[in-house]
Amino acid sequence: MTVLQQARENEGYIIGLRREFHAEPELSLKEFHTADRIEEELEKMGISHWRCRETGVYAVLKGTGEGGGTIALRADTDALSIEETHKTEYCSRRPGVMHACGHDAHAACLLGAARLLAQRKETFGGEVRFFFQPGEEIGAGAKEFIEEGHLEGVQRIFGLHAASDLPTGTIGIKPGSNNAAVDYFKITVHGTAAHVSTPEKGADALYIASQIVIGAQAVATRLHSPVEPMLIGIGRLDAGTAYNIVAGQAVIEGTTRTLTEQTRAEVRRQLDQLAGQTALLWGGSAQTQWVEFTPPLVNPEDVSKEVQRQVALLPGVQVITDRPVSLGGDNFAEFQKQVPGVYAYLGTRSEKKPNTALPHHNGGFDIDESALAYGTALYAQYALWWLQEGNKI
């Protein structure tokens, strides 16, 4: 029996898990029920498992056959603060919380792969490590697995993500840049309050903040090449206390999306400089705080080819190698900084199911569940190949 045939035999199990996770979504770092259920399933499979911090689950399956090496497989588990609008039998039971990005599918596929691999453990040596990672939506979870040493000795790492832009039966594996580095910034502008009739006696923090917002777009369009995708997005500006008072303080919150570490550092320096000098020009001051969510996600060419060859062994599945780069981020990139690894995109769109074509983070988002067997099979196929043959490279 091929791995894909085995995955299809387990399709009911995988779909059932996905629907259960979808109906009981949990926000980042609060995935307690999800982690409990993952551990219950691993226990049934006889796979050793431990918690990574509070809501991550780390598991290890050791092969009993020939071969060797160590490979890690990763899935994320958190949901989003979104009200579900798509009415289904597995609709979210938690108001204002929804799996609108496919993490329910990722966790189900990885559990399905664990089941397949446990049933085949006599066919390989070495070990498979399973990372059920919490908190991806807020840039958390990955570093915790690394800090606890779960990557030590790992030779390859693989993960996948649902993709509503790709049809079911396709898997995107693109060498090179796939996703942007994501950083959050908060600029606090300090001015001096005064009556609006005497603006010269104050320093208008709202005006200063407005100039910073406008200047930030010039940083993107005038200080960086237009042929390299880069984004400075500002989603929040809060200032002032009343209509007739010059604002004494303003707060700007936004994000940068960059494809290289060099550009990432340049943009950070330029925004710091813009905020400080603009505030100084108009009599105020500004401080910028940064939070790094994730590095750029780059698939190594050689490892991408390894995974592409394994997809070719799944009958009826087509590899997409030119999927456009996304300025969304994923902290799977943290693992890639430590270990050679690839992040693949699982096509989940069906023309017969309109909601499967909606963008991620939409209240009507859904997936074509027939894609789950492909995701499960790819997790298992790549792990088997590495442990049986690939680690000898």
> Phi and psi of 77, rounded to 5°?
-130, -5
Q: Mean of the pLDDT values across residues 28-38?
A: 98
Task: For 215-248, write each residue's pLDDT tens digit.
Answer: 999 999 999 999 999 999 999 999 999 999 999 9
Element (H or E) spanning 219, and its range? helix 205-222
| Number of domains forming the structure of the chain | 2
272-323 per-position pLDDT tens digit: 999 999 999 999 999 999 999 999 999 999 999 999 999 999 999 999 999 9
* Amino acid identity for residue 306 in this structure: E
Of the candidates 83, 174, 80, 72, the one whose C-alpha atom is nearest the C-alpha of residue 128 is: 72
Half-sphere exposure of 128 (CA within 13 A, CB side): 32
Residue 38 has pLDDT above 90, yes or no: yes
Q: What angle do CA 149, 337, 39 make, to 5 degrees?
A: 45
Q: Verify that 245 and 304 share a domain, yes or no.
A: no
Same domain, 209 and 169: no
* Summary mean pLDDT of the chain: 97
Place of tokens 């909601």: 355
What is the pLDDT at residue 393?
67
Same domain, 172 and 264: no
Q: How many CA atoms lie within 13 A of 71 on its CB side?
A: 29
Q: How far is CA 141 from CA 22, 27, 312, in A?
A: 20, 13, 32
Q: Which domain holds residue 221?
A: 181-294
- The CATH number given to whatever domain includes residue 198 is 3.30.70.360
Task: State how far the alpha carbon of 274 is from the alpha carbons of 187, 207, 213, 228, 237, in Å.
Answer: 11, 14, 10, 21, 16
Contacts of residue 119, defined as CB under 8 A and 6 or more positions apart, other chains included, come to 6
Identify the pLDDT of residue 365. Answer: 98
Rounded Cα distance between 86 and 370, Å, is 18
Token readout for 32 is 């307690």
Closest of 283, 258, 292, 60 to residue 185, by C-alpha: 292
Cα 50 from Cα 48, distance rounded (Å): 7
Per-residue confidence (pLDDT) for residue 67, from 0 to 100 = 87
For residues 170 and 206, membership in a common domain is answered with: no
Query: Do 53 and 185 have their domain in common?
Result: no
Q: Using 50, 70 and 90 to split pLDDT, how confident is the model at 185?
A: very high
Look up the pTM and report it: 0.94
Q: Are residues 16 and 130 in the same domain?
A: yes
